[in-house]
A and B are shown apart, each in its own frame.
Chain A
Amino acid sequence: MTDQSASQGQTQVVGAAVRLSGGGPLDGAPEGAPDDVSFVPVGPEREQRRTRRFRSARWVMLGFVAPALVIYLLMVIVPSIQSLQLSFTNWDGISPDYEYVGVRNYEEILTSGRFWNAVKNTLILGLGSAVIINAISLGVALMLDKVGRWQGFFRTAVYLPALVSGFILATVWKYLLNFNFGAVNTFLRDAGFPEWARDWLGDSSIVVGVILFITCFTLGGNTTLIYLANLQSVPQELTEAARIDGANSRQVFRHVTWPMLAGAVTVNMTLAMIAGWTIFDQVMVLTAGGPGFVSETMAFFIYKVGFGEYRAGFGSAAAIVLFLVVIVSTVAANAYMRKREIQA
């Protein structure tokens, strides 16, 4: 029960972040509203005293925030604004000076086939991995929910593979998929299907699918734990009542468990998509964007253009476009899933 309400708490927080960063920081705050609304009611004298005390401690509290705030501003906010500025220049990333070229970078990006290909790959990998990983995680969580006393053991066993980073996993896969000496092709040849052996990472017709497969080669880790915690907070009375009314397990899942998981689905999908839009490690390791530019994602495109091809201004413009994609898709997905939550 606690877990359930708690998860909804996070959903709201994520939602708030989405809404507000979409609209501007003080969007929801009406002008001239009383400052400390939350402090007004109950015993007025005591509240007043506390407020006064808080006023006097205000600068101390701001001092508490200061170290983190300074680092955050210098490492996140200021560079993000600089990125916007650089996106209107032709800076190469090395020379001390550069010129402003207006929106030329954006024009070039939006008419570049290479960039749209990267957008397409990002959508396939980002949305595809979010849906597949969530489906796997929910399936594994449902199984873990069933194993009774052995749950602790299996929960750990399921989590262990998630400790291996995407980078390490991709590196090992790169060698497993090697054309001549890789384990996959060797296995296929030994098993009597030599015609199935192929250049998995060099064949432009399948390479994005192969990267998607490797990205989704997981049992979910944290996503699974979040689903499991939410499953266990589904009141047993509800599922029992449904059973007494004659529902089979599929109907119980469809009409009782699934609606109760709506909040967790929203949170997990949002987190998975934010991670998916910036997929980089797998592409860098497995193909370096190749063959040609076939398997580039937006994150890889920005890295390659900005540092490899000495077009920092152009790369910055691509980064700003990525930022917009993250904001818009997250807001849209949240709005859609929230509507579904209400209907459910």
Chain B
Amino acid sequence: MSTETELLVAPARKPRRQKATPKKLTAGQIAVMAVLAVLVLIVASPVIYAFLNSFRSYAEITVDPMGLPTQFTLDNYIQLFQQTDYGEALLNTLIITVATVVLLVAIVPMAAYGIERVGGRTSRFLYILFIAGLMIPFQVRMIPLVKGFDEVGLYSTLTSVILVHLGGAASFGILLYCSFIKGIPIEVEEAAHVDGAGRLRTFWSIVFPMLLPVTSAFVIIQALGLWNDFFIPLVFLDSSSAGTINVAINRMVGLLTSQWQLIYTGAILAIIPSVAIFAAFQRYFIKGMSVGAVKG
């Protein structure tokens, strides 16, 4: 229905490919959709299981592992915050994620712009220097970084985790931004420059807004990756810190071996912000992945 209206309003526009298919679904399409729905349910089943069990007590879970919750209670959620460091870990994860993303956006697009515009062999050298980082696994730099942070007294601080993340994400960011900046005509900047804007102002007020599609893709990819990360906080935060949510859950697995219900609850709480980030930016995200990551 809406398709027809759209075509009437803008007849010149080439209809999108999927809209060219007949309005009625074919049997084949319905079969494909059914298969997809089943696949999604299968892959989501562990999470659904954890969700259901976050409303059950330990006794209920162990007596009947396949049972359904008998009542809706938030006891486990309350206990998680009262009995463990989960609340502090949640805050730590939030600080690490937000601070790293903000700092990345502050330094990476600017650096990519500098690399592209400095010109000549310097340009190529800096680009390759950054891109080489994609090939260096975190494990290679892990031991000396712990040593270094220990020497300057930053070991087991959120600052150390943020700095390690910044270094690791810089390579991917430079790759993403450089390919886009290449496509921006220099004339636009020259015009701004003639108008008397300094290089820094030209960048932030003229170039940076043009990079918005890349920035949204970069921010979402990084935010999800940071929120879900386990290895880096595991290495850089010892027991003097509450850790991040994943580290906190991992410690529960070790220490409170019997508290299955709290671990399920912690897992569900860790997933909710990822889904929220995705839901809020979904439009940009799908577009960013199709354009951003493919173009990357």
Closest 5 CB pairs of A and B: A75-B167, A64-B114, A165-B228, A68-B111, A82-B144
In the complex the two chains form, what is the Cα distance from A280 to B106 in whole Å? 31
A86 at the interface (CB under 8 A from B): yes
Q: Mark B137-160, 1 if CB is under 8 A from A, else 0.
A: 111111111111000000000000
B163 pairs with A75, CB closer than 8 A: yes
Task: Across the interface, name the chain A residue whose C-beta is closest to B164.
Answer: A75
Residue numbers in B under 8 Å from A79 (CB-CB): 140-142, 144-145, 148
* Whole-angstrom distance between the Cβ of B227 and the nearest chain A Cβ: 8
What residues of A have a CB within 8 angstroms of the CB of B234 in the complex?
A: 284
- CB-contact partner of B235 in A54, A68, A75, A307, under 8 A: A307
Mark out the residues of chain A between 153 and 178 whose CB falls within 8 Å of any chain B CB in the assembled complex: 154-161, 163-169, 171-176
Q: Known: A13-B296, A76-B167. Contact between A39 and B119, CB under 8 A?
A: yes
B246 touches A157 (CB 8 A): no
CA distance A124 to B62 in the complex (A): 34
Complex CA–CA separation, A280 to B232 (angstroms): 11
- Please list 24 pairs of residues, one from A and one from B, whose beta carbons are closer than 8 Å in the complex, sorted by A's number: A3-B290, A6-B294, A6-B295, A10-B293, A58-B119, A62-B122, A65-B114, A67-B106, A68-B111, A76-B168, A79-B141, A79-B144, A143-B35, A160-B44, A164-B271, A169-B47, A172-B49, A172-B267, A175-B264, A181-B65, A228-B290, A299-B139, A319-B142, A322-B139
A 7-25 to B, binary, CB cutoff 8 A, 1 in contact else 0? 1011001001110110001
A165-B114 contact, Cβ under 8 Å, with A72-B171, A158-B36, A320-B140 = no
Chain B residue at minimal CB-CB distance from A288: B254
| CA gap between A26 and B145 in the complex, in Å | 27
Does B81 sit at the interface, judged by CB under 8 A? Answer: no
Chain B residue with Cβ nearest A323: B140
A68-112: which have CB < 8 Å to B? 68-69, 71-72, 74-80, 82-83, 86, 93
Closest CB of chain B to A98's CB: distance in Å? Answer: 11
**B141 close to A83 (CB less than 8 A):** yes
Contacts A21-B132, A71-B166: A302 and B29 contacting too (C-beta < 8 A)? no
Show the binding face of B for A, using Cβ within 8 Å: 3, 17-19, 21, 25, 28-29, 32-33, 35-37, 39-40, 43-44, 46-47, 49-50, 61-62, 65-66, 106-108, 110-111, 113-115, 117-122, 124-126, 128-148, 163-164, 166-168, 170-171, 174-175, 179, 186, 190, 199-200, 203, 224, 227-231, 234-235, 246, 249-250, 253, 260, 263-264, 267, 270-271, 274-275, 278, 282, 286, 289-291, 293-296
Interface range on chain A (Cβ under 8 Å from partner): 35 or more
* Complex contact B18–A25 (CB within 8 A): no
Cβ distance B89 to chain A, nearest Cβ, rounded Å = 13
Given the interface pairs A167-B246, A303-B235, the reply to whether A219 lies near B144 with Cβ below 8 Å is no
Query: Are A64's CB and B203's CB within 8 A?
Result: yes
Residues of A within 8 A of B125 (CB): 25-26
Known: A16-B131, A172-B50. A159 touches B278 (CB 8 A): yes
Distance (Å) between the CB of A281 and the closest chain B CB?
Answer: 5
Beyond the given A76-B136, A80-B144, please list 20 additional residue pairs across the A-B interface where CB-CB is below 8 A: A3-B290, A3-B291, A13-B131, A21-B131, A25-B132, A26-B128, A64-B200, A143-B35, A150-B29, A155-B286, A161-B43, A165-B227, A167-B246, A168-B249, A174-B253, A176-B46, A181-B65, A306-B143, A322-B139, A322-B140
Q: Which of A198-206, A229-237, A254-262, A336-344 contacts B (4 or more CB under 8 A)?
A: A229-237
Interface pair A186/B65, CB less than 8 Å apart: yes
Contact call A68/B36, Cβ cutoff below 8 A: no
Taking CB as reference atom, which chain B residue is nearest A264? Answer: B294
Bound together, the chains give a CA A159 to CA B270 distance in angstroms of 17
Cα A300 to Cα B148 in complex, Å, equals 21
Q: Closest B-chain residue to A173, C-beta based?
A: B46
A interface SS class = helix
Contacts of B295 in A (CB 8 A): 3, 6-7, 9-10
Chain B residues lying within 8 Å of A169, measured Cβ to Cβ, are 46-47
Given contacts A13-B296, A65-B118, A176-B46, whether A161 and B170 have CB atoms under 8 Å apart is no
Decide: B143 and A10 in contact? CB cutoff 8 A: no
A25-B141 contact in complex given A140-B39, A226-B293, C-beta closer than 8 Å: no
B171 to chain A: which residues have CB within 8 Å? 72, 76
- Residues from chain A with a CB closer than 8 A to the CB of B110 are 64-65, 67-68
Is the CB–CB distance between A140 and B36 below 8 Å?
Answer: yes
Bound CA–CA A26/B28 (angstroms): 54
Of residues A7, A39, A147, which shows the largest number of chain B Cβ atoms within 10 Å of its Cβ? A147
Among residues of A, the one whose C-beta sits closest to the C-beta of B234 is A284
Q: B39 contacts A35, CB within 8 Å?
A: no
Contact of B40 among A158, A165, A181, A307 (CB under 8 A): A158
**A324-337 near B? 1/0 per residue, CB < 8 Å:** 00110010000000
A219 contacts B32, CB within 8 Å?
Answer: no
Which residues does chain A contribute within 8 Å of B36, judged by CB atoms? 140, 143-144, 147, 154, 157-158
**Which residue of the partner chain B has the closest CB to A163?**
B274
| Known contacts A61-B118, A219-B43; is-contact A225 B290 (Cβ 8 Å) | yes
Contacts of A26 in B (CB 8 A): 121, 125, 128
Closest to B249 in A: A171
Contact A148 B29 (CB under 8 A): yes
A250 at interface (Cβ–Cβ under 8 A)?
no
Contacts of B142 on A, CB cut-off 8 Å? 79, 302-303, 306, 319
B246 in contact with A330 (CB, 8 Å): no
Query: Which of B135, B175, B289 has the most C-beta atoms of chain A within 10 angstroms of its own C-beta?
Result: B135
Do B275 and A160 touch (CB < 8 A)?
yes
B199 near A67: Cβ-Cβ < 8 Å = no
Interfacial chain B residues near A218, Cβ < 8 Å: 43
Contact of A65 among B115, B119, B267, B275 (CB under 8 A): B115
